[in-house]
Chains A and B, each alone.
Chain A
């Protein structure tokens, strides 16, 4: 598994030099996962394949807008794939709205300070560990929220628990995640 730094380096090479080998490496890593994401959230295989390729074309075209100082490439590609899925299923092919791609410029045009950069990287690198430290129950409700395209009411039906329980479980999971990120030591 390539590291966050390696993946971000590939994205930089695509942005700055139109490096096709770097793009192929990003493709090899992310395209099969984007397809898995789309299929998990209810997209039929043929369409998932098509949307995955479309997402990767967006990665190429938008690479210049990706700011490796502010996010990891996996966070960025997640937002691209999510928005593509939302546009396809909820906007019936019309103008998209709401969630934007992770647009770093919109948040700040200046380079983050070393402190900010440190905080951003702690969050990006700490997230994987933090997710592993969640209880199975909390991890499950997060996975279902992200990948099953289920509003919480549907998750409640699926797990056979009241809607209020899903909501409080989600809040507990997110709180726990935040605490783990603030204090990364186990």
Chain B
């Protein structure tokens, strides 16, 4: 049962196509697994369609229709864009737990091997080939482990892919979504029952409290 969903303002920005790529990927990942949010997103897309209809029409070139029909008759260009995207390129990523599948929204992304972040904590940098500047990563935290306490300079989105953590505010399980900013200082702790895998997108910086954690955070570029 999914309990935590993206807010309306985030979902609306996604429907409008105005989110930066990292955050857009996170919302897409959540929506993929959440029927409730697919429905919410659809309502906003219907609003987009209705607003499109209400726009005052622009004048097109005189030959616009003729050109479009000519393009329809031309053979479909075989650009990379129209090719199906490859799956998440995670050849170096150790296989995920049994019964776990990477979200389809991550197709085309490249994930590094799991890297050490601390005892029982690993992370993997996720690269979006269409946007080098997106700061997206996977966290894989062992049962009972806790991340150092931290806050955020701008905004961090987190989607739980596997397992469950508690951060003092609420319990987040598979499919749950979280948005945090500078108003939230938390210390996510994975439940004892098993490890937890999350996908995260950060705009700005993650600001860790302790000196050691801070050094570590800047080392891995979070």
Contact = CB atoms under 8 A, between A and B. Distances in A.
In terms of DSSP, what is the predominant structure of the interface of chain A? helix
A76 B48 CA distance: 10
A78 B65 contact: no
Interface in A160-186: 166-167, 170-171, 174-175, 177-178, 181
A170 B21 contact: no
B87 to A, nearest CB: 12
Question: Looking at chain B, what size class is its interface with the partner chain?
Answer: 35 or more
B48 A146 contact: yes
B60 A96 contact: no
A27 B54 CA distance: 16
A56 B9 CA distance: 29
Nearest to A166: B9
A9 interface: no
A52 B197 CA distance: 41
Contacts of A92: 130-131
A15 interface: no
A95 B129 CA distance: 8
Contacts of A95: 80-81, 83, 85, 108, 129-130
A97 B46 contact: no
A8 B13 CA distance: 27
Nearest to A98: B24
A145 B80 contact: no
B92 interface: no
A82 B21 CA distance: 14
B68 A36 contact: no
Nearest to B79: A93
A56 B48 contact: no
A138 B108 CA distance: 37
A131 B50 contact: yes
Given A20-B69, A24-B65, A152-B9, A75 B128 contact: no
A13 interface: no
A47 interface: no
B38 interface: yes
B25 A98 contact: yes
Interface hub of A124, A170, A181 (most chain B Cβ within 10 A): A170
A97 to B, nearest CB: 6
Given A75-B46, A98-B25, A178-B43, A53 B130 contact: no
